[in-house]
């Protein structure tokens, strides 16, 4: 019986085999996606859930965080190169249009500043300060957009729109602060946050995802870099209200994407000798502005809001079914003869001021309906006044009253059964 020879193990061969196996493993599309998504989520968790003495530390902000994003960028450079869906012949046009639309955004905020005023920038504008801030802004920006570009363009997607939508949502949510969301308490705080933070962030990420889809990471880096650069480089910044910030932050990126898509598709059809007509974006822009304005107007974002009168206590000046516009007027501006809206026992009442009474250093208002024979039994306190009626639109509220009366009949029918 012969005994076989023991073959010595070649460690170099084993290492090469393991390296080859690991390389093949990383080459899988889903694995690469998982690595990048995990990286994004890990940085998000560290930014928001590490102790504040770490996340607000100079070394973390200007050293650790850029290093993390640089590491992610180097990982992507190790991955196979991907092609975007945009035509190579149109890449220079896309870069030019992206820079142009970023300039439009800057012009919009400058225009807003000329209307509402400017203030000094809180950022350091020394040479060292500018360089430091650029590092803080552009390294994470480059890393995020390289991740976005790879996730959007990685592999052959069967459901491109769904993929882009999910990646857009991921990039939006991971750029928001959970602590800020948790701290929102009132309805107005929520509306302001949605308008001033969430919608502009979502709109910007929609544009960025489209840009990486047709041209790679360079395009959104250009757009966001120019857009953010004005805040870090300019010694003065516009003092914009949250409503103006919402309008500019939401509409500028969204309409930029629509125009860019329109121009790109038009040029691409010329190259392909196809002449299918695209819908002009101007109609969508006008419709979007009007729709958003109506919604904001109805929920009370603007100082004037519409309300429907349900009773006839103010006839013949205001009838049931009329719509009134109520202005959030300062109490000091109210005078005898004004029609006000005030709250009593969770009911909103519209009556006219007939007298102003001072009781123990407190101002109260005596009110009465024009169609009533006696004044209201209790004086109205300042904190109960919601606004002053500034305009009446006859019969404009009838659809609302009819719908409300129908719902009331349905409720009563349910009770009887």
Between the alpha carbon of residue 230 and those of residues 113, 144, 223, 225, 234, the distances in Å are 13, 20, 12, 9, 6
* DSSP 8-state assignment for residue 63: I
Answer whether 281's CB lies under 8 Å from 262's CB: yes
pLDDT at 7 over 50: no
**pLDDT > 70 in the chain, percent:** 80
Whether 227 and 102 have beta carbons less than 8 Å apart is answered as yes
Q: Is residue 283 scored above 60 in pLDDT?
A: no
Give the pLDDT of residue 144: 94
- 206-229 pLDDT, tens per residue? 999 999 999 999 999 999 999 888
Mean pLDDT of the residues in the chain: 79
Does 10 have pLDDT greater than 70?
no
- Comparing CA positions, the residue from 99, 332, 67, 344 lying closest to residue 227 is 99
175-185 in b/e burial notation, b at 16+ Cβ within 10 A?
Answer: bbeeeeeeeee
The mean pLDDT of 293-298, rounded to a whole number, is 57
Q: Tell me the HSE value of 7 on the side-chain side, using a 13 A CA sphere.
A: 3
Distance CA 353, CA 349 (A): 12
Structural domains of the chain, with CATH:
14-299 (no CATH), 305-416 (2.10.109.10)
3-state SS assignment for residue 176: coil
Q: What is the pLDDT of residue 20?
A: 55
Q: How many residues does the chain have?
A: 417
Residues 333-347: pLDDT tens digits? Answer: 888 989 988 888 878
């Amino acid at each position: 019986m012969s005994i076989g020879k023991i073959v010595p193990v070649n460690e170099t061969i084993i290492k090469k085999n393991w390296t080859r196996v690991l390389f093949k493993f990383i080459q899988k599309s889903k694995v690469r996606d998982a690595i990048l998504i995990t990286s994004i989520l890990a940085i998000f968790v560290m930014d928001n859930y590490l102790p504040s003495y770490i996340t607000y530390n100079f070394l973390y902000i200007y050293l650790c965080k850029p290093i993390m994003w640089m590491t992610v960028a180097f990982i992507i450079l190790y991955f196979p190169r991907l092609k975007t869906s945009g035509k190579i012949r149109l890449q220079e046009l896309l870069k030019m249009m992206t820079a142009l639309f970023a300039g439009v955004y800057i012009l919009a905020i400058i225009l807003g500043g000329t209307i509402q005023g400017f203030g000094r920038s809180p950022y350091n504008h020394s040479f060292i300060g500018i360089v430091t801030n650029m590092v803080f802004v552009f390294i994470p920006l480059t890393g995020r957009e390289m991740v976005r570009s790879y996730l959007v363009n990685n592999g052959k997607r069967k459901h491109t729109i769904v993929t882009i939508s999910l990646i857009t949502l991921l990039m939006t949510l991971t750029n928001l602060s959970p602590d800020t969301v948790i701290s929102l308490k009132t309805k107005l705080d929520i509306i302001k946050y949605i308008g001033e933070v969430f919608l502009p962030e979502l709109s910007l990420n929609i544009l960025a995802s489209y840009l990486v889809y047709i041209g790679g990471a360079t395009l959104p880096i250009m757009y966001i870099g120019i857009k953010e650069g004005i805040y870090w480089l300019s010694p003065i910044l516009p003092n914009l209200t949250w409503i103006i910030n919402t309008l500019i932050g939401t509409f500028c990126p969204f309409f930029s994407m629509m125009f860019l898509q329109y121009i790109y598709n038009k040029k691409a059809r010329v190259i392909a000798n196809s002449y299918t007509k695209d819908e002009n974006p101007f109609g969508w822009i006008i419709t979007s502005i009007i729709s958003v304005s109506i919604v904001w107007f109805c929920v009370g974002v603007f100082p004037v809001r519409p309300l429907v009168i349900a009773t006839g206590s103010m006839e013949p000046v205001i009838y049931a079914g009329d719509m009134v516009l109520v202005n959030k007027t300062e109490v000091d501006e109210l005078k005898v003869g004004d029609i006000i809206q005030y709250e009593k026992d969770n009911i909103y009442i519209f009556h006219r001021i007939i007298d102003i009474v001072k009781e123990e250093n407190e101002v109260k208002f005596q009110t009465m309906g024009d169609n009533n024979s006696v004044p209201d039994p209790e004086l109205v306190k300042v904190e109960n006044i919601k606004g002053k009626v500034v305009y009446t639109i006859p019969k404009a509220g009838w659809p609302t009253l009819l719908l409300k009366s129908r719902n009331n009949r349905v409720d009563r029918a349910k009770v009887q059964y």
